[in-house]
Structure 1
Amino acid sequence: MPISTDTVPTVDGDCRITLATPEVGGPWPGVVMYPDAGGPRPVFDEMAARLAGLGYAVLVPDIYYREPGWAPFDLGTAFADPDERTRLFAMMAAVTPDRMATDAAAFFDFLQARPDVVGTRFGTTGYCMGGRTSFTVAGLLPDRVAAAMSFHGGGLVTDAADSPHLRARQIRAVVYVGAAENDASFTAEDGATLRAALSDAGVDHTVEFYPAAHGFAVRDMPTVYDEAAAARHWAAMERTFGATLG
């Protein structure tokens, strides 16, 4: 699938993006694909291209664009290296809900302005912290998100006053959460809490746990990547986006 690079103006500067589109046809529905804590890298271009092959214009943002010239992480060692762990967690913490919302609005505006993108509501999907972003944006920009998907996302349910699950009543999107088993960042108890919140709010949702580790869907993480779980996640995206975005 064709992949291009561009920048999207936001309230905090210019965000670098890649955009994958189908080979022919159009216009297509738009989807924002949020990368995991490692940030944008070739594997997410590959994943965006695969999703584009199903008939979508897929935008992958540089979630750390506010950190000019940031050095890529080696996720195989970043959590064990004290300096890299500190750098990674500081950059993750800087991606606040308010920033998620203003960035997402800019991404949606960018997509909506393109002649090869159709519609005014979009899909979102994400991995790890990107899964949290995808779900959070659905609660903060309900009029612009038609389907929100999260894969091995952490922090969807917390004790904080701004926990994403507390915005369930604002969500108008179809929600799909594919969680990892034995994941401290999203436990079985968290899953039950999220299901209850979404049910009480009348949100069309699926929350299910995959028999795989955190990171199961991202191929460049070989110690946790799970081929069967990844295939299941692709089937879930095809089914959910196909039903909601057309």
Structure 2
Amino acid sequence: MRTETLHIPTEDGRADAFAAFPDDGERHPGVLMYPDGFGIRPVLRDMACELARHGYYVLVPNIFYRNGPTPVIELPEHIGEEDRPAVFAQLMPLIEAHTAERTLRDADAYLGFLASRPEAGAGPVAVTGYCIGGLLATRTAVAHPGRVAAVAAFHGPVGADGTDSLAKLTAEVHFGHAEGDLTPEALDGINQALDTAGVGYTSEIYPGTAHGFTMSDTDAFDARALQHHWDRLLPLLGGALSRS
């Protein structure tokens, strides 16, 4: 397994990024992994490495690079409930400034950079994301129908751009929602949009979960839900990218 810290040229500067990939001299399908709002840190690096072990080139960008390199803000080793008010006081201005227009400009740069890597395959890619990264992943998939073969989002506000946007998806989809993040009625609306898109998908509420359930450095972490996330993500990528 190899890991690298990289710098991606964008229209607005240079985004630092973390990459993980098998060290076997072969080319592997690319996966663009958007982090949650807390950004690149040990838990995200570990998740990228775990995914790379299954035969993927995984690229994790610093989505807030305009505000500085990783770490954009200092975080405790464990982000407990007592830490969240101070952390979110710093994070929310960054999240609010990260508009859809910025997302799409950056996505063009990230996907172009991924295509340039000699260790990454030349075919379509997958895009994954966590929390706000789930929304960024979904926006990226909608904007790049010929490039993105699969999209997965976990505890992300994937419906924030409206169900009409979701109906434009062409990639295969898995949405893993936290129980506390949306109502069954909201889930029905998302799933109806995916029906309209005509794509293969699973979109479900993970029972008993709180927002952030995949992240082991937060109080929301749920080990069973994290395993379910892998059980959904790996077949999705294996199927969509093997056919590309």
Structure 1 stretch 26-35 or stretch 66-75: which is displaced more?
Answer: 66-75
Pairing of 1:81-100 with structure 2 (within 5 A): 81=86, 84-100=87-103
Q: Secondary structure at the match of 2:66?
A: coil
Determine which of 114, 120, 124 is the counterpart of 1:121: 124
CA distance in 2, matches of 1:2, 1:164: 39
C-alpha offsets along residues 116-164 of structure 1, whole Å, 9 cap, x if unaligned? 211342111111111111112111222221100000112x224xxxx15
The answer to whether residue 210 in structure 2 is matched with residue 205 in structure 1 is no
Q: Is the 8 A contact 2:37 2:132 kept in 1?
A: yes
**Cross-structure match for 1:72:** 74
Pairing of 1:154-193 with structure 2 (within 5 A): 154=157, 156-158=158-160, 163-183=161-181, 186-193=182-189
Q: Is the 8 A contact 2:159 2:166 kept in 1?
A: no
The answer to whether residue 232 in structure 2 is matched with residue 236 in structure 1 is yes
CA distance in 2, matches of 1:245, 1:25: 19
* Cα RMSD (Å): 1.6
**Cross-structure match for 1:194:** 190
Pairing of 1:19-38 with structure 2 (within 5 A): 19-38=19-38
CA distance in 1, matches of 2:84, 2:16: 25
CA distance in 2, matches of 1:61, 1:115: 18
**Cross-structure match for 1:220:** 217
Q: Please report the TM-score for the alignment, with normalisation by the length of structure 2.
A: 0.91
Listed as ranges, the gaps of 5+ residues in structure 2 are none
CA distance in 1, matches of 2:75, 2:102: 22
CA distance in 1, matches of 2:226, 2:115: 29
C-alpha offsets along residues 160-205 of structure 1, whole Å, 9 cap, x if unaligned? xxx153223432100110111122xx33222111100110121221
Structure 1 stretch 145-154 or stretch 116-125: which is displaced more?
Answer: 116-125
CA distance in 1, matches of 2:23, 2:184: 41
CA distance in 1, matches of 2:216, 2:142: 29
The answer to whether residue 155 in structure 2 is matched with residue 152 in structure 1 is yes
Q: Please report the TM-score for the alignment, with normalisation by the length of structure 1.
A: 0.90
- How far is the alpha carbon of 1:97 from its aligned partner? 1.4
**Cross-structure match for 2:55:** 55
- How far is the alpha carbon of 1:25 from its aligned partner? 4.7
Q: Secondary structure at the match of 2:227?
A: helix
- How far is the alpha carbon of 1:111 from its aligned partner? 1.3
* 2:159 partner letter: V
Q: Is the 8 A contact 1:38 1:72 kept in 2?
A: no
Q: Is the 8 A contact 1:101 1:141 kept in 2?
A: no
Q: Is the 8 A contact 2:73 2:90 kept in 1?
A: no
CA distance in 2, matches of 1:5, 1:114: 13
Q: Secondary structure at the match of 2:84?
A: coil
* 2:235 partner letter: R
- How far is the alpha carbon of 1:5 from its aligned partner? 0.6
CA distance in 2, matches of 1:190, 1:87: 29
* 2:42 partner letter: P
Listed as ranges, the gaps of 5+ residues in structure 1 are none
* 2:221 partner letter: Y
- How far is the alpha carbon of 1:17 from its aligned partner? 0.3
The answer to whether residue 104 in structure 2 is matched with residue 101 in structure 1 is yes
Change (3 A) 1:95 1:120: farther
> May I ask how many residue pairs the two structures share in their alignment?
236
CA distance in 2, matches of 1:169, 1:157: 11
